[in-house]
Amino acid sequence: MSTAPLTIACVQTEPIFGDVDANLSALSAAVATAAGNGAQLVVAPELCTTGYVFESRDEAFELADAVGDAGPADALADLARELGVHLVAGFAERDGARLYNSALIAGPGGPLGVYRKLHLWENEALFFERGDRGMPVFATPHGRIAAMVCYDAWFPELWRLAAVQGADLICLPTNWVPIPGQADGQMPMANVLCMAAAHSNSLFVAAADRVGTERGQPFIGSSLVVAPTGWPVAGPASPTAAETVLVDVDLAEARRQRAFNTFNHLLRDRRTDIYDRTLGSGVVEGWH
């Protein structure tokens, strides 16, 4: 792992539903600008080439492709190659007759792999299969990175699985929607989840959200980069405008900060003897 700073950018865009060419064009411009500003690793939103609100499986199928199809997925990989950056970007992945809500992980040398969203949100279950490739962690010259997509972040098990497998940075392409109960001036709960996960696993989080309203569904922006301390080091970005957050980080901090003191290390302190016990044995019937 390099000990040099890594410059991370989260590119917050506003995709136009179904207009892949326009979306790729806007994304390419934003990623190129970020690279020009020094970004070495760029995260783009969930389903950033197609848009999110599919009305039918056929519609999703027509817009989906795979790495090697000379379509949008390859265009994302080409963008990483041309700009000499690592890119983690959400796309609709077609694999035979199956569709996945995926994230491409690509570097200057080509695609490293694909993460398939494990936890599908709402109508996604009508179009996509649940991810079937676990939680891959990708070894890069900058450090070990992993991807999660949107609702995955609601599952602390997955953050932990990535951390235990050595991830230093979680890249989170997302399409966050408003959650009831957020008061004016409060940080979105999705940001709070990223902070808690970064802190309790001691890893960096780079979340790239989209903005705008699509077929009646608003999205909330607020892209951010969180340090292993849990505090944001860039963002949250605007809730409404397309913009990029960019920051220098030292990924080695993720591993250093896992040891709090002589006695405590976040991953070694885990009581797997307890968590993995048979569930259901712990209910005490007191009723008084």
Q: Which residues within the stretch 151-210 sit at the binding site for a second copy (CB under 8 A)? A: 151, 154-161, 164-166, 179-183, 186, 189, 192-193, 195-197, 199-200
Sequence-distant (6+) residues with CB within 8 A of 263 are: none
**46 φ, ψ (degrees, to nearest 5):** -60, 140
| Nearest alpha-carbon partner for 52 in 176, 148, 154, 152 | 176
Shortest reach from residue 19's CB to a second copy, in Å: 27
- Mark the segment that binds a second copy (CB under 8 A) among 13-21, 44-52, 58-66, 280-288: 280-288
Shortest reach from residue 199's CB to a second copy, in Å: 5
Residues 224-253 that bind a second copy (CB under 8 A): 227, 229-231
Residues 113-152 that bind a second copy (CB under 8 A): 113, 118-123, 125, 130-131, 134-141, 144, 151
Contact 3, 238 (CB under 8 A): no
Shortest reach from residue 149's CB to a second copy, in Å: 13
Choice between 23 and 143, CB closer to a second copy: 143
- Mark the segment that binds a second copy (CB under 8 A) among 49-57, 58-66, 107-115, 236-244: 107-115
Choice between 26 and 197, CB closer to a second copy: 197
Shortest reach from residue 27's CB to a second copy, in Å: 22
Q: Catalytic annotation on 117?
A: yes
| Strand order, beta sheet including 110-116 | 110-116, 98-107, 86-95, 41-43, 6-12, 243-249
Give the active site residue among 117, 124, 171, 194: 117
Contact 80, 108 (CB under 8 A): yes
Sequence-distant (6+) residues with CB within 8 A of 17 are: 50, 51, 52, 53, 214, 215
- Mark the segment that binds a second copy (CB under 8 A) among 33-41, 213-221, 235-243, 258-266: 258-266
| Nearest alpha-carbon partner for 72 in 125, 15, 122, 118 | 15
**CA-CA distance, 244 to 194, in Å (whole number)?**
18
| Nearest alpha-carbon partner for 92 in 83, 101, 104 | 101
- The residues carrying an active-site annotation are 46, 117, 150
